[in-house]
């Protein structure tokens, strides 16, 4: 039953891509996500290009002048790999910025009978976003040690950990619009298994470069549907 609810929510979110209002938010979200990743990549290039000597001298080899160029060219492949991990905090940030627009677009199309949702105050939204973002960063930092110790399970650990954290964040932010912080927390705990599963469904494509650019917006839409399916259960 849980997996049916999750996939039903996901495919409903995908089906709305043709909606001009939803598509606009999706494209803006993708563009901003890409811009954040490029900015991080540019900062990384500046760091390795603007520091350190132009040449290195190695025993028996002599002076090497091409090492920095090699690092610069290979950095693109490195940043593509790192984007898998960087997309987790980026997804968290993007969600908080566009959640209201995405959720409203979903509800206008699929749940038009609903009254207007309560606006979440800026200070409340900022506090929750920073709290979730800090938790994501700290948890993923310590998870690196598990990736090194158990490399064969690294991908599954990544999906499980970030699926739990992103699912918790997305559902809480969506639910708060309709039932407030306290009730959102109660509902989230009641359906934590289903929410975790939905979070894993988000975390999996986040580990695929380029595909992951669209996931923050699709995820917000998915959790909007999931909330409405779970709120009366």
Q: Residue ranges per domain, the chain?
A: 2-16+84-230
* 89-to-62, 93, 172 alpha-carbon distances in Å: 43, 6, 16
Contacts of 201 (CB under 8 A, 6+ apart): 6, 7, 10, 163, 222
Q: Which residues pair with 58 in a beta bridge?
A: 62
Would you call 64 helix, strand, or coil by DSSP?
A: strand
Beta strand 62-64 pairing with 56-58 = antiparallel
**Residue in the structure block whose two tokens are 């917000």:** 220
Cα separation, 79 vs 101, in Å, equals 30
**pLDDT in 10s for each residue of the chain, 233 residues:** 788 999 999 999 999 888 887 888 888 888 887 787 777 666 766 665 554 555 544 444 444 444 455 455 555 666 666 667 777 777 777 777 788 888 999 999 999 999 988 776 667 767 777 788 788 888 888 888 888 899 899 889 999 999 999 999 899 989 999 998 899 999 999 999 999 999 999 999 888 877 887 888 899 999 999 999 999 88
**In the prediction, which pLDDT does 82 show?**
64
CA–CA separation, 52 vs 33, rounded Å?
30
pLDDT (0 to 100) of residue 226: 96
Q: What pLDDT does residue 9 have? A: 93
Both tokens of 208, joined, read 């695929």
Provide the pLDDT for residue 28. 84
Residue 70, pLDDT score: 47
The pLDDT of residue 186 is: 94
pTM of the model: 0.80
Q: What does the DSSP assignment read for 169-225?
A: HHHHHHHHHHHHHHHHHHHHHHTHHHHHHHHHHHHHHHTSTTGGGGHHHHHHHHHHH
């Amino acid at each position: 039953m849980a997996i049916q609810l999750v996939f039903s929510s996901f495919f409903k979110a995908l089906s709305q891509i043709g909606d001009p209002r939803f598509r606009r938010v999706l494209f803006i979200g993708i563009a901003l996500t890409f811009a954040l990743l490029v900015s991080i990549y540019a900062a990384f290039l500046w760091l390795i290009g603007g520091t350190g000597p132009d040449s290195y001298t190695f025993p028996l080899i002599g002076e090497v002048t091409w090492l920095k160029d090699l690092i610069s060219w290979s950095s693109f492949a490195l940043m593509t790999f790192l984007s898998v991990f960087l997309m987790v905090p980026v997804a968290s940030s993007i969600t908080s910025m566009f959640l209201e627009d995405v959720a409203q677009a979903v509800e206008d199309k699929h749940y038009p009978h609903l009254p207007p949702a309560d606006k979440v105050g800026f200070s409340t939204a900022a506090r929750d976003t920073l709290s979730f973002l800090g938790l994501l960063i700290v948890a993923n930092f310590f998870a690196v040690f598990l990736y090194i110790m158990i490399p064969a399970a690294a991908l599954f650990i990544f999906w499980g950990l970030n699926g739990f954290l992103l699912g918790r964040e997305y559902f809480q932010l969506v639910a708060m619009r309709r039932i407030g912080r306290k009730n959102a927390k109660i509902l989230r705990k009641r359906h934590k298994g289903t929410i975790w599963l939905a979070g894993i469904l988000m975390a999996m494509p986040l580990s695929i470069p380029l595909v992951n650019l669209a996931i923050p917006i699709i995820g917000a839409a998915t959790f909007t549907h999931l909330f409405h399916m779970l709120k009366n259960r």
